[in-house]
Structure 1
Amino acid sequence: MEGGDAKGSVCVTGGTGYVASWLIMKLLEHGYRVRTTVRSHNPDSKKDLSYLTDLPGASEKLQIFNADLAQPDSFDEAIQGCIGVFHVAHPLDFEDKEPEEVKTQRAINATLGILKACLKSKTIKRVIYTSSASTIMFNEKGLDVLDESHWSDVDFIRSLNPYGASYMISKTLTEKAALEFAEKHGLDLITVIPSLINGPFICPRVPSSVDTAMVMMHVDLTIDKLFEFLSAKYPECPIPTPDSFKEIECTSRSNLSSKKLLDTGFKYKYGLEEMYNGAIQCCKEKGFL
């Protein structure tokens, strides 16, 4: 997928999200034709997607398709004929409106359905799956440094029951299923394991990861004060108790290694100051601060 001058088509799932919208913009800048999937998009929909359709080059090179994770086959059309797929979409339900098993199975079925569509296309050269640092952080090994060779223990996550536990479990089990499928079928699959993502954003809403990162700028981050802040800011959400925050704090002291990424030649372009400045400026421009 190197060299945008090839002008191939690339599919980005979950195009309305934080990471996906940035991917769409960058892919367009590099000369790719982009197909992205969103839920329930049609000409009569009231959903405003102008932040995508107004991107430079979008009028000529961006196509938007309807697709739903609950219907894996709905991604087939967007993937057909593409040279690569960025699978970013994932079910989000931090309020646990559905059982953990239901959300996990939906995520696994959708991801495997997308990978099957990639095989059927005969044109896909590589799939990039966006995972999460939560897939490696939660275990009882007590290691100083964790990397992509480690896995979170889903039973351990269940025993802690932190806020967002079902998301952490579904991401862990979905990534495992994706890697097993790719190895079995000879599909070139790369998983990316980001930690908390912060910085400016293209989408019209403040991304949850930016909102979480900005908490540190509003409160003196003791566990008790963080609990009070979150309870006031999100009264409709089931915020965990201060004790469960302390449990997470005690189990999340390991550093996350970027050695494998850096060994490929990757170089970090921005530091914390630039990321926070970018997020703050973007929030101001969009009227959130």
Structure 2
Amino acid sequence: MEDVKGTVCVTGGTEFIASMLIKRLLEEGYSVRTTARPDTENKRDLSFVTNLPGAAEKLKIFGADLNDPHSFDAAIKGSKGVFLVATPVDFQNKEPQEIVTEREISGTLGILKSCLKSKTVKRVVYTSSLATVVHNGQDSDMMDESFWSDVDFIREKETPNFSSYSISKTLTERAALEFVAEHGVDVVTLIPGLFVGPFICPKFPGSVHISLALLLGGKYPQFPISTPESLAEIKGNKGMKEDAFKLIQIRA
């Protein structure tokens, strides 16, 4: 039977957001390629995605690592759309911010280069973060895509645990948008806040843990979430619902 919906690639498919996205894409009838860090000893259990309805016929998993951007070539080749979800997250400052940022920029640009190389990718949906917008010292009730976080402001004002993440996300998105502007890649950027909701990955998602702690009276001072509107329910966020699939629909 002809694959009417076509093939899309979701990077970082073993994580919270990506695995739920794979589930939804399969339900919508897409063929999905996803990536996972290479597991030479075959010890990782990926059954939570391989056992999804439709996965046996429509899901392929490729080994890829952000430290080797070219490793995404095979997964992206032949895809008409790419959901760029894979990103390193380090809230414990295990590595210097400069190293984290360099790796994320290199990995993201490498994936975008793979999209160019493929000759088949027509659109990339890039998952960024609210952290790229709100840290600028401006007292504004509303912010749109014209707002950017100020890296110097982040270094001066933000808590150490969160500043590395905010800086790396901000500089990476800027680098990505500069690249696509130069090379003509069609990219849609999503700016979610804190993701909460059901999950299928075996690891308890950190964002869900944080949201539960906030609801139950716990404190996370490094996450200054003050209103319910700051939370993006994973089934209701544009990145996960019907509008998200429109992002990957390409006009003929």
TM-score normalised to the size of structure 2?
0.85
Amino acid at match of 2:24: K
Amino acid at match of 1:46: K
Deviations 1:135-162 (A, max 9, x none): 1011112112112220001111111241
Q: Judge conservation of contact 2:3–2:31 (CA < 8 Å) in 1.
A: no
Q: Judge conservation of contact 2:130–2:192 (CA < 8 Å) in 1.
A: yes
Amino acid at match of 1:82: S
| 1:208 corresponds to 2:206 | yes
Equivalence map 1:1-289=2 (5 Å): 6-42=4-40, 44-162=41-159, 163-219=161-217, 226=219, 249=224, 266=243
Deviations 1:2-56 (A, max 9, x none): xx962311110000111100111111111111110010235x4111110000000
Amino acid at match of 1:140: G
Displaced runs of 4+ in structure 1, greater than 4 A? none
Amino acid at match of 1:73: H
Q: Which has the larger radius of gyration?
A: 1
Aligned with 2:104: secondary structure? helix
Deviations 1:108-167 (A, max 9, x none): 111111111111111001000000011101111211211222000111111124122111
Q: Judge conservation of contact 1:137–1:252 (CA < 8 Å) in 2.
A: no
Aligned with 2:189: secondary structure? strand
Amino acid at match of 1:87: L
Aligned residues: CA RMSD: 2.4
TM-score normalised to the size of structure 1?
0.75
CA-CA distance at 1:217 after TM superposition:
2.8
Task: Please give the alpha-carbon distance, in whole angstroms, between the structure 1 residues aligned to 2:166 and 2:52.
Answer: 32
- Equivalent residue pairs, number: 232
Aligned with 2:192: secondary structure? coil
Structure 1, unmatched stretches of 5+, are 228-241, 268-289
- Whose helix fraction is larger, Structure 1's or Structure 2's? 1
Task: Please give the alpha-carbon distance, in whole angstroms, between the structure 1 residues aligned to 2:122 and 2:200.
Answer: 28
